[in-house]
Amino acid sequence: MNLFSNVSIGKYTLKNRIVMAPMTRCRAVENSCANELMAQYYAQRASAGLIITEATQISELAIGYPCTPGMYTNEQISSWKKVTDAVHAKGGLIFVQLWHVGRVSHSSFLGGNLPVAPSAIKRSGEHFTFEGMKPFETPKELIISEIKSIVQDFADAAKNAIEAGFDGVEIHGANGYLIDQFLRDGTNQRHDEYGGTIKNRSRFLFEILQAVSDAIGSDKTGVRLSPSGTFNDMSDSNPQEHFKYICKKLNNYNVAYLHIVDALEGDIRHGANVVELGLLRDTYKGVLITNGGYDKARGDQTIENDLADAVAYGAIYVSNPDLVERFKIDAPLNEVDPSVFYTQDAKGYTDYGNYSDSH
């Protein structure tokens, strides 16, 4: 087995094990709707075994960045159909990543309301808003009824995604956003059924997973986690035991896949408490996708060594829409230009050429 062999996830068979990772690109400029530029961008990359879209907010209170798309209005649902139609026309499979950013937001995005979180613990630093950089605010601690409402928002957004033509959804439980904030004791200091023990801190994730699975089917539901991550000022006192518990419990849900953000060198430099991929692989019995600075050689080796079933590629997929084809012939890759990751036009988005067009 290697990157070019097929693999089954849920009800689908992927034509290869190269996955396009979810990446925020900030091109949803009108009413958080998808547009023709986004349809072109994703369709250009449809040779991936699976595309996972940029994170997409489940409600108007889930937003945390400028020009990110939503999945909670009829206009948004309709707008996404042009994206899914374009990808399917090229023979691709596409899941949408659903998120709530929690405390990683600002009242200027939320109609003057404070961001929400499991506990009223402020993220350090500043946040990028429509008005420029602003200090993070102390979030409002969610009450039980609000937590239940957010669980329902995830289920509703999942149903909306299927209506919009997506093949499935990925629940964003990684990178310091709301679900991850519940999971980790650095951000969750509650004393009710959602805090304290590993079981309680995981409750929110599994309630969402159950609600989404009930809404659209577990075979169309993936989950993303970042056990070693420190992004967004995250920490946990015992991530090895915590994420082993989560992986073991996930075995009962028959989800399409588990997507792990592997420990990056930057995480390690910033004091990450690394959870080895092999530990999670030994615990979780379903399809495992890994992500985190992989190249072709490391991806092939990871699959050959049975550490994962597929590999998700991020930044190099931005600058190489034909990444699958380049990997096949060992062609050189276009350089990545981070300066245009979060702008609002075609530059650095849809203007990268295919290798075959110039050779």
Q: Are strands 132-135 and 126-129 parallel, antiparallel or unpaired?
A: antiparallel
Q: How much is the pLDDT for 263?
A: 76
- pLDDT tens-digit map of 244-303: 999 999 999 999 999 999 976 555 555 667 899 999 999 999 999 999 999 999 999 999
Task: Give start and end residues of each alpha helix (H) in 218-322.
Answer: 239-250, 265-269, 277-283, 296-304, 315-319
Cβ burial, residue 102 (10 Å; 0-12/13-18/19+): buried
Q: State the helix-helix crossing angle for 239-250 and 203-216, rounded to 10 degrees.
A: 20
Tokens of 51: 């595309």
Q: How much is the pLDDT for 264?
A: 65
CA-CA-CA-CA torsion sign (296, 297, 299, 303): positive
- pLDDT tens-digit map of 130-150: 888 999 999 999 999 999 999
Q: Residue holding tokens 């009962």?
A: 252
In DSSP notation, 25-79 reads: -----STT---HHHHHHHHHTTTSSEEEEEEEESSTTS--STT--BSSSHHHHHH
As separate numbers, helices (DSSP H) first and strands (DSSP E) second, the chain gives: 13, 14
Q: Residue holding tokens 């080796």?
A: 301
Tokens of 305: 């060594």
CA angle 67, 105, 29 (to 5 degrees): 5
Q: How much is the pLDDT for 176?
A: 95
Residues annotated as catalytic (active site), given as ranges: 177
Q: How much is the pLDDT for 357?
A: 82
Give pLDDT < 70 ranges for the chain.
264-272
pTM, 2 dp: 0.97
Tokens of 325: 């084809």
Could you tell me which CATH class the domain 7-358 is placed in?
alpha beta
> Cα-Cα-Cα-Cα dihedral of 301, 305, 308, 313, to 10°?
0
In DSSP notation, 111-139 reads: TTPPPEESS--PPSSEEEETTEEEE--PP
Q: How much is the pLDDT for 265?
A: 52
In DSSP notation, 277-305 reads: HHHHHHH--S-EEEESS--HHHHHHHHHT
Q: Distance (Å, rounded) from C-alpha 48 to C-alpha 345?
A: 23
Q: What is the chain's length?
A: 359
